[in-house]
């Protein structure tokens, strides 16, 4: 499968590595390829530079947002939430077409300090913003309620826990559910279809408690389970 990942940060790297390892052709998209390759790492956060990472993962292609959007039969929005709309605009409406866009972003606003607030909340969501702005794209919000290492490897947290799916297009959601099971190993019964894209309001508003649980538990390796 060809997959275009918008975003070259740590989340994009983890997704790209996992999807490439499963035999997919992967292109990561960024605003400016030269700038991304020249960016230094962040030693304080234990992050190698993108170019160091890419040297070890040279089978993964790197292009502009537009090139990655054109490349993938399935697209993943792994940009930071505050940058997502601009990233999709740079990708371009023709390159996005009517493809499935797996939106894993959250509208986290760090501008007022920690913990972050949400820049879109309550009676709207980032998933809806993207869907409204790009009505032909089939936005499916999912995986945004957990750390990236768990997105691609749910077994890293033992036991039963859940991933949520929101989107307007039933076929696109079916495609994404199969993607979750086949690419990452989510079991069908761990996937909860929440309904249309407005239900992204529910999953994006899990972030405020997620961030605080990260502080309480001192690890990002946890997930929500719905028990009944």
The kind and range of the H/E element at 202 are: helix 200-204
Smallest separation (angstroms) from a copy of itself to the CB of 141: 12
126, 192 in Cβ contact below 8 A? no
**What mask of x and - would describe binding to a copy of itself in positions 102 to 141, judged by CB under 8 A?**
----------x----xx--xxx------------------
Nearest CA among 152, 163, 5 for reference residue 76: 5
164 binds a copy of itself (CB under 8 A): yes
Give Cβ neighbours of residue 97 (< 8 Å, ≥ 6 apart). Answer: 136, 137
Smallest separation (angstroms) from a copy of itself to the CB of 224: 6
DSSP letters for 167-201: ES-HHHHHHHHHHIIIII---GGGEEEEESGGGHH
53 binds a copy of itself (CB under 8 A): no
Smallest separation (angstroms) from a copy of itself to the CB of 87: 23
149 binds a copy of itself (CB under 8 A): no
159 binds a copy of itself (CB under 8 A): yes
Q: CA–CA separation, 184 vs 174, rounded Å? A: 15
Estimate the crossing angle of helix 126-133 against helix 81-91, to 10 degrees. 20
Binding-site residue total for a copy of itself (CB under 8 A)?
Answer: 40
Smallest separation (angstroms) from a copy of itself to the CB of 18: 21
Give Cβ neighbours of residue 55 (< 8 Å, ≥ 6 apart). Answer: none
**Residues within window 177-216 making contact with a copy of itself, judged by CB under 8 A:** 192-195, 199, 201-203, 205-206, 208-213, 215-216
Smallest separation (angstroms) from a copy of itself to the CB of 138: 20
* 106-119 as b/e: b if 16+ CB within 10 A: bbbbeeeeeebebe
Smallest separation (angstroms) from a copy of itself to the CB of 160: 7
Smallest separation (angstroms) from a copy of itself to the CB of 221: 6
DSSP state of 150: H
167, 138 in Cβ contact below 8 A? yes
Select the residue interacting with a copy of itself from 73, 89, 160, 178 (CB under 8 A). 160
Given the rule CB under 8 A, which of 68-76, 126-134, 174-182, 218-226 is the region that contacts a copy of itself? 218-226
Task: List residues near a copy of itself by CB under 8 A.
Answer: 112, 117-118, 121-123, 157-161, 164, 192-195, 199, 201-203, 205-206, 208-213, 215-217, 219, 221-228
């Amino acid at each position: 499968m060809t997959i275009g990942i918008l975003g070259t940060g740590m989340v994009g790297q983890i997704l790209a590595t996992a999807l490439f390892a499963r035999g997919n052709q992967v292109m990561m998209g960024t605003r400016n390829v030269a700038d991304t390759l020249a960016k230094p790492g962040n030693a304080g956060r234990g992050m190698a530079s993108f170019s160091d990472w890419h040297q070890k993962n040279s089978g993964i292609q790197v292009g502009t947002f537009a090139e990655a959007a054109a490349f993938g039969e399935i697209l993943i929005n792994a940009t930071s939430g505050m940058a997502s709309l601009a990233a999709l605009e740079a990708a371009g409406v023709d390159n996005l077409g009517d493809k499935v866009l797996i939106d894993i972003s959250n509208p986290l606003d760090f501008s007022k300090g920690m913990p972050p607030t949400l820049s879109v909340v309550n009676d709207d969501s980032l998933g809806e913003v993207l869907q409204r702005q790009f009505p032909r794209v089939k936005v499916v919000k999912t995986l945004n309620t957990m750390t990236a290492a768990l997105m691609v490897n749910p077994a890293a947290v033992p036991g039963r826990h859940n991933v949520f799916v929101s989107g307007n297009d039933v076929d696109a959601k079916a495609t994404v559910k199969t993607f979750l099971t086949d690419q990452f190993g989510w079991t069908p019964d761990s996937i909860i279809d929440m309904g249309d894209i407005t239900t992204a309001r529910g999953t994006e508003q899990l972030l405020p408690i997620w961030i605080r649980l990260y502080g309480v538990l001192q690890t990002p390796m946890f997930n929500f389970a719905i028990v009944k």
